[in-house]
Amino acid sequence: AASELKKQGDFSKAIPLYQRAYEILSNSIGPDSPLSIHVAFQLAKSYILSGQHDKAESVLVGTGKNHIK
């Protein structure tokens, strides 16, 4: 559903769905899971496409911090 909304340019509806999906996945399978990371990147992409670059950066930095050693 979120990907279709993103394709249609309806970011105000897609973003909360991606946020919720990431929250659920992070809590159930962990934030380092490939699926969790994929959803985080889709969330960041939605932020970028909607002009919310600061929020996109926050998601990407938050996602990447677990992978930078």
pLDDT tens digits, one per residue of 1-25: 999 999 999 999 999 999 999 999 9
At 17-57, the pLDDT tens digits run 999 999 999 999 999 999 999 999 999 999 999 999 999 99
Its pTM surpasses 0.85: yes
Q: How far apart are CA 61 and CA 10, in angstroms?
A: 24
| Measured distance CA(56)–CA(48) in Å, rounded | 6
One-letter amino acid of 25: L
Answer whether 14's CB lies under 8 Å from 46's CB.
yes
With beta carbons less than 8 A apart as the criterion, state whether 60 and 44 touch.
yes
Q: What is the DSSP letter of 1?
A: -
